[in-house]
Amino acid sequence: MPGLLAGEHDDLTGAVQQIILSSTESDYLDQLIPLLKTAQTQTQVTPLIHALNHVSADREAEIERICNSNHQEFINSVSQLQSVREGTVSLTSEIIELSRSIEASTEKLAEEKRALVESRGVRQNIDDTTQALKDCLLVLTLANQVHDLLGKKNHYAALRALDELQNVHLREVTRYNIAEMIERSVPATQRLIAEAVMADLNTWLFRIRETSQFLGEVAFYHTEMRRSRQKERAEQNDYLGTFKLNSAVELVADEPEEFDVLNNEEVQVDFSPLFECLHIHDALGQTEKFRADYAATRRRQKELLMPQRLDLTNDEADSLSSLLEGIAGFAIIEKGTMQRTENFRAQSEVDELWEGMCQSAISLISASLNAVENDEQLLKIKGVIALFIQTMDSWGYPVTSLDTLLLTLFEQYSNLLKRRFSEDFQEASPHFIVSTDDYMPMQISNADQYNKVISVSWYTPPTDQQNITFPSALPFSHMYPLVCIDIRNFLNQIYLFSDDHFRNTAVIDKTLKESLDELLVDKVARTLVERLSSQYPGQIVQILTNLDHFEQACADLEGLLVEARSSSSAAGPITLKATAEFKEAKKRAEKRIFELVKSKIDDLTKLADYEWTTTQVPDEVSDYMQELTRYLSNIMSEVLLGLPNEMQNLIYFEALAHIRDALLRLPLEPHVDRISSEATTAYTMDVAHLVQFVESLPDQKHAEVLLSELDELRQTTDLMGLAVQGQGEEFFDSSKSAQRFGKVDKIKGAELLEKVEPVGRPSTSLRPLARNGLGSDEAQLRKVGSAMLGDFRDRFGGFRREKS
């Protein structure tokens, strides 16, 4: 048990040693707390207390040991301190003696100092007198220097010297009379300086007035170089091509080519005279007066820039270039003055000068524009004005009024173009396209000529171009490619106006559309419509072909106008009025062809001089019928050959329908009372000849369709044949008539049966009706027949009108 306590005591002693060695109180507690936590009972705490007591006793023993070993050293230190105290007392006595010696020497020094002060006062008086003489001499020297600088035209240096003289040096000699004399001369000297600097400024203003035009020329050249660089960038990068001159992107891209218009190898504008004058007047307190005088001078110079009149008929537009270059140089100097000074030139004053110059220039240009009758000259004028606008826009000047001037210029330009292109359609012109046209398919002699015509025309040739043999013929006449060339030239020249600066691009698109409509409708479509009065079907056919190609050209033009549209904000399709006009003209041409064909058919059918009561059967087909079929063959194989197949087929239908109606009318004419069997045979023979002609057409499929148009005529001849045989009653048999005579009009059939005489008997074609109980008297039969005809007219009249 004692051994166990001893081991535990040793452990606590080590822990207590760590607690004592702790550097701070918090560390002491950190070491003690774990021991207290482990000691949960009084028996466990007691060893800890014993350990602490043991450590304490050890420390006290150690302290006593240390004190016993150093006791002699403490005694020696006390002896040394006593020796030091004795030395200190002796030093104090020596210091007192030294102080008394210093006090005696100080009294002697004070006496010598008083003597020195008295000598210095005398010397100061001498120095003051010398300094006064020097100050007066300096003032005189500076006064003379002011006049010397003024003579050397160092105005600002003279003013600074005068200011220094007045505010610094004169104040140092105010007690002398010379200061008053010089003070009185200062205002006069200031006036001399102001007058001298104004004289130099006026000379400078005269020089920059003479330099303004050359400065503007250099600015224009710089803008041209920027245009070229932007064009090169656009060719290399399509995205950069979407940005105009003076746009933010263009300005950034052109920064490596920075150019100072006011200071370069060609021209240097030195603002030093202005700065000097401004500084001098500012120093004199006359800044506002100087600003007013300068503004008045610039207004007078602005008026001197404007000529009394302007000649724009010069081929190079030299007078306009000189005027705008002078305005540009003047305005650039004003902008440069604003940039180099502060609160000297007000923005409102510069804007007023600019607007005044612009309005004067616009008035001069507008007054002289009426004398310009050449579109190329107008383009040159527009180029100069556009260059002026772009140059001044880069300097931040408003150009709205000049954009409005370009609108006026474009209006006159477009009117001149329309007038020039309209001359090609004037009958008085030797190059009148319409009147000089032969209205025949255009003959092409070689491949080069063919390619040229195709390149200028809106025409899609056949796909097998390689198989074309020359000489060859194109469907349109000479006028079509000539008009296409004019239209293309008109488009190109209109769009030339928008190559340079022109912000109102929507006006170009609108004007171009209206101008094209005017040219195509008034000068082409209506002129061709007037030519439809011709009596030559071939010419009408060619006009119709031309109209068809013009209609297609208008459709192509609409797509071209959308692609070449100048305004990026516009959208949607473009529809030309000329497209509908040509379509309507085509209908009129088609109608005119029908009229001519029908007129010819009418003329030939009038030659059909049937002897309806003849007793002789003809040996051959009537002459009129042979001529009629020959005419149909010729007009379809030669005259109408250039028309589309659909149009040819339609004309065939119309022609045969008209012939059918004309032939059906012949036996039904009021003066025909009766028709003999021989006349019926002649009539039937002519109809058969017509049917054979249609059947012999090359296109058998089309021939079958055309034959359907002759069904009524063939059924009518069959009915007349039955009537000759005395079998006309079949026409009234519904079971047989619907199948054999379905196309025959009931009224007309009844009239024919009444007129055709059977072979070997008098006219009794209506006797079958008598057998049906309608009476045997011939007059009564005619009365019944007339009543039947009236009933059929009432019932079928509306149908016939609708069909016709």
pLDDT digits (tens, 9 = 90+) for 579-613: 888 889 888 888 888 888 888 888 888 888 888 88
Do residues 568 and 642 both lie within one domain? no
Task: Please give the pLDDT value at position 784.
Answer: 39
Q: Confidence class of residue 162 from pLDDT cuts 50, 70 and 90? A: low
Q: Which two tokens stand for residue 12?
A: 């606590």
Do residues 657 and 765 both lie within one domain? yes
Task: Please give the pLDDT value at position 355.
Answer: 92
Q: Over the chain, what is the mean pLDDT?
A: 77
Classify residue 693: in a domain, yes or no: yes
Where is the domain boundary, 536, 556, 586? 586
Phi, psi (rounded to 5 degrees) for 532: -70, -10
Average pLDDT over residues 536-557: 86
- Judge whether 425 and 524 are in contact, CB under 8 Å: yes
Of 565, 584, 673, 694, the C-alpha closest to 629 is 694
Classify residue 333: in a domain, yes or no: yes
Average pLDDT over residues 411-421: 84
Q: Which two tokens stand for residue 482?
A: 């000539």
Do residues 519 and 569 both lie within one domain? yes
Task: Please give the pLDDT value at position 769.
Answer: 37
Task: Please give the pLDDT value at position 771.
Answer: 32
Do residues 394 and 479 both lie within one domain? no
Classify residue 410: in a domain, yes or no: no
Asked if residue 170 has pLDDT above 60, the reply is no
Do residues 393 and 489 both lie within one domain? no
pLDDT digits (tens, 9 = 90+) for 107-132: 778 777 877 887 787 788 777 767 76
Do residues 382 and 464 both lie within one domain? no
pLDDT digits (tens, 9 = 90+) for 470-506: 778 888 888 888 888 888 888 888 888 776 666 666 7
Do residues 378 and 522 both lie within one domain? no
Q: Confidence class of residue 781 from pLDDT cuts 50, 70 and 90? A: very low
Task: Please give the pLDDT value at position 356.
Answer: 92
Classify residue 484: in a domain, yes or no: yes
Instruction: Calculate what percentage of the chain has a pLDDT beyond 90.
Output: 2
Task: Please give the pLDDT value at position 529.
Answer: 87
Asked if residue 564 has pLDDT above 80, the reply is no
Do residues 564 and 642 both lie within one domain? no
Do residues 274 and 355 both lie within one domain? yes
pLDDT digits (tens, 9 = 90+) for 334-376: 888 888 888 888 888 899 999 999 999 999 988 888 888 888 8
Classify residue 409: in a domain, yes or no: no
Burial class (CB in 10 A: 0-12, 13-18, 19+), 315: exposed
- Judge whether 410 and 508 are in contact, CB under 8 Å: yes
- How many separate domains does the chain show? 4
Classify residue 79: in a domain, yes or no: no
Give Cβ neighbours of residue 475 (< 8 Å, ≥ 6 apart).
441, 545, 549, 642
- What pTM did the predictor assign? 0.64
- Judge whether 614 and 680 are in contact, CB under 8 Å: no
Task: Please give the pLDDT value at position 722.
Answer: 83
408 beta partners: none
Q: What is the enclosing helix (H) or strand (E) of 443?
A: strand 442-444
Where is the domain boundary, 69, 84, 110? 69
Task: Please give the pLDDT value at position 535.
Answer: 80
- List, in sequence order, the alpha helices (H) in 270-346: 272-284, 287-305, 318-340
Asked if residue 135 has pLDDT above 50, the reply is yes
Do residues 334 and 427 both lie within one domain? no
Where is the domain boundary, 336, 363, 398? 398
Q: Confidence class of residue 37 from pLDDT cuts 50, 70 and 90? A: low
Average pLDDT over residues 187-206: 76
Do residues 375 and 466 both lie within one domain? no
Asked if residue 270 has pLDDT above 60, the reply is yes
Asked if residue 20 has pLDDT above 80, the reply is no
Task: Report the CATH number that the domain containing residue 447 is assigned in CATH.
Answer: 1.10.357.30
Classify residue 508: in a domain, yes or no: yes
Cα torsion angle, 661, 662, 668, 674, sign: negative
Classify residue 156: in a domain, yes or no: no
Q: What is the rounded distance in angstroms from the CA atom of residue 425 to the CA atom of residue 528? A: 11
Do residues 662 and 763 both lie within one domain? yes
Q: Quote the domain boundaries for residue 684.
A: 606-803
